[in-house]
Amino acid sequence: MTVDFILVGSAVLLAAYVVDIAARHWHFPAILVLLAAGLLGNVFLSDQQVRQTIDTALPVLGTLGLILIVLEASLDLDVHWGNLSRLAQALLAAIVATVGLSFVLGMGMVWFLGMNQYQAGLLAIPLAVVSSAVAIPAAQRLGDEAREFITYESAFADIIGVLLFYSWLGSGGVATGFAVSLLGGGLATIAISVVFVLGLYLLMNRLTGHVRFVPMMAGLLLLYSTGKALNLSPLLLVLAFGLFLSNLPSLQRRSRLLRRWGSEDFPQTTKEFKAQVTEFTFAVRSIFFILLGLWTDLASLLAIESMGLAAVILICIYLIRWPILWLVRAPLRQGLVWVSPRGLITVLLILIAFDQTDLSAKAFPTGAVMWVVLVSSAMVLLTGRRPQDALFAKAQGDESVAGCGTASDGVAQPTGDDRQG
C-alpha cells in the first residue's frame, strides 16, 4: 500500500506539471483539468479505505495550501511609492467586491434558503473570494497594467476573505463579536507578529549549511500554530511574515537595526525561499484539487438543485463585478469582468464551515460549490479572446516598449519591481 501511494503520488505530480506547462502555453486554467481528472477517477473509485484516507487528508492539505497561498500572495505585494495608487485601487476593489458580494449572497441565502445569518455568512464569504492562483495566470496576456491590477486585487481578496471568514466563524453571528474579532484580534495579532517576524528574521540570518528552507517553513508553521493556540488571527502572522520579506530591502534602508542583523547572503536566501514556496504551493494545490474531485459527491454535482443554485451565484458574481471595476477605474474593465474565478480557498473555507458548525450538505449542496469553481474558472478563457481586448493588450505592450524597452509579442513584460526581485 505504501509503495502504491508513492507511485500514484509521483505520477500525479508529474502529470500536474505537464498540465501546468500546457495551461501556460495554451492559456487555460489548469484547475479544470485537475478537477476533471479527480471527478473521472471518482467514477471508478470503490475502495472505501481510500475514500476514508481522502476524507482525512483533504482538510490537512487544504489548511497547508491556505497558509502557502496567503504567504505566496503576500510575497508578491511589493509596497513602494511608485505603486501605491495601483495598490489602493486594487485594495478598494477587493474590499468592495468581497464585502458586497458576501452581503448579497448572504441575504439571498437567508431569504430563499431559510438559513440564519450566521450560517449564510459562513457560506457567502468563501464564495466571494477570488482565486489568485487562477486569476493571475489568466491576466498575463492582457498587458502590464491589467496584470498588475489582477495580481494585487486577487492577493488582497484572498487575504481579506480569509480574515473575514475566521472572524465571522469565531463571532457566532454576533455583530459586536465579529467587529472585536476582526479589529481587536487583528491589532493584537499585528503587535505579536512584529515580535515573531523579527525572531524568524534573526533565525534565518543565522542559518548556515545546505539545510535552510526547512527551518524557515517550520518556523512559519510554528507561527501559524501559535497564533491558532492563542485564538488570534494566525493568517495575519503569515501575511506579516510575507510582507516583511517582500519589502525587506526598503525596510533595511530605513532601519539600521535590520541592516545590522542582516547577513550579506540573506537577499539571495529570500529569493530562493520564494521559489521554494511557489513550488510547494504548486504541489499541494495540484494534489488538493485531484483529491477534491475524488471526494466530490457525484449525485450532488449532477442534481438540478446544485446547478440552479450555482447559476444564481455566478450571475451575482458577474453582475456585481462590472460596477466595481468601473468604480475603481480598473484597466481593461471589459476583459477583467471574466477574471473572477473561485478555487482552493473557497472550497476549503466551506469545508471548514461544514466541519465546525451544524451546516450540512442538505442545507447547501456541495455540488453547487463545485459548479461555481468549475464554471468561474472556465470563464477566464473569455479573457482577451475578443478582438478589442487583444488590441488593447497589444497597445499596452507597445506603450511599455516605448517607455521601458521591455516587451514581447505585444504584451508588456514585468519589470524588476514587478517581479519582486
pLDDT, tens only, 155-173: 889 888 988 998 898 888 8
How many Å apart are CA 47 and CA 347, to the nearest integer? 24
Distance of CA 219 to the CA centre of its chain: 21
CA angle, corner 391, sides to 389 and 394, nearest 5?
110
State residue 321's pLDDT score. 92
Give this prediction's pTM: 0.81
State residue 2's pLDDT score. 66
Q: What are φ and ψ of residue 408, in 5° steps?
A: -150, 135
Helices 366-379 and 30-44 pack at an angle, to 10 degrees, of 140
Query: Are the CB atoms for 389 and 138 separated by under 8 Å?
Result: no
Which residues sit opposite 411 in a β-bridge?
408
Q: Which three cell numbers stand for residue 358?
A: 451544524
State residue 94's pLDDT score. 93
Q: Which residue has the higher pLDDT, 36 or 401?
A: 36
pLDDT reading at 5 higher than 80 = no
Comparing C-alpha atoms, which of 353, 323, 352, 357 is closest to residue 337? Answer: 323
Beta strands in 58-190 (DSSP E): none
Q: How far is CA 135 from CA 6, 27, 132, 153, in A?
A: 31, 11, 5, 10
Banded pLDDT at 111 (limits 50, 70, 90): very high
pLDDT reading at 335 higher than 80 = no
Query: Are the CB atoms for 243 and 77 separated by under 8 Å?
Result: yes
Q: Which residue has the higher pLDDT, 94 or 200?
A: 94
Residue 363 burial (10 A CB sphere; 0-12, 13-18, 19+) = middle
State residue 50's pLDDT score. 82
Query: Are the CB atoms for 260 and 3 separated by under 8 Å?
Result: no
Residue with cell 443554485: 309
- Ranked by mean pLDDT, the top range of 123-132, 223-232, 399-408 is 123-132
Q: Which three cell numbers stand for residue 254?
A: 530605513
State residue 417's pLDDT score. 39
How many Å apart are CA 345 and CA 351, to the nearest integer? 10
State residue 419's pLDDT score. 37
pLDDT reading at 388 higher than 60 = no
